[in-house]
Amino acid sequence: MDNENPSINPAKFAREVLDYYLEKERLPGLPDDLPPEYAVKAGAFVSLKKAGQLRGCIGTFEPVCSNLAEEIAANAVSAAVRDPRFPPVKKSELPELKVSVDVLSPLERVDSEAELDHEKYGVMVCSGQRRGLLLPDLAGVDSVEEQLDIARRKAGIQPADKVDIYRFKVTRYEE
């Protein structure tokens, strides 16, 4: 992988990174000639599922790396070995995992819940230093109110606390 172009599908690329990392315990080198889709800066979430159940999910709502390829690679490894909700993924589990990558658009502040759609937009709620984020179009999330409630709970924000609300779109890639 050190000298190959990343696959066009970001989910497949994330899997290749995980395979390399779980084998060699380090991130692969990225090629100098990244395809244009990977050269941009964007936040990204990498989700791992096993038998339909979440096995790891880590992401960034704003880019912290110099390009999308680095963002996906870092978040893929973090989802596999640093998600505090789960034990680290073992190399032997990799064939059982389904990998998806959500590439986020920039955050856009909204003035009311009427500007949201739980299937179309992800949300981030902020109150002081606390932030909670929920991706769009998730199984079991059937309304904007439910989406906002989950995002609040993730951040430890009480229902009566005032929040700033942001929305974003995602481009979801699956294997």
Q: What is the pLDDT of residues 110-163, one digit of tens each?
A: 999 999 999 999 999 999 999 999 999 988 999 999 999 999 999 999 989 999
Domains delineated in the chain: 10-104 (3.30.700.20), 108-174 (3.30.1490.150)
Does 109 score more than 70 pLDDT?
A: yes
**How does residue 2 score in pLDDT terms, banded at 50, 70 and 90?**
very low
Q: For 85-115, b where at least 16 C-beta lie within 10 A, e where not — what string?
A: ebeebeeebbeebebbbbbbeebeeeeeeee
State how far the Cα of 107 lies from the Cα of 83, in Å rounded to an integer: 23
**How does residue 35 score in pLDDT terms, banded at 50, 70 and 90?**
confident
State how far the Cα of 70 lies from the Cα of 98, in Å rounded to an integer: 20
| 3-state SS assignment for residue 91 | helix
The conformational region for residue 60 under phi > 0 = left, psi -120 to 50 = alpha, else beta, is: beta
Q: Which two tokens stand for residue 16?
A: 């290749």
Q: Which two tokens stand for residue 95?
A: 């064939």
**How does residue 36 score in pLDDT terms, banded at 50, 70 and 90?**
confident
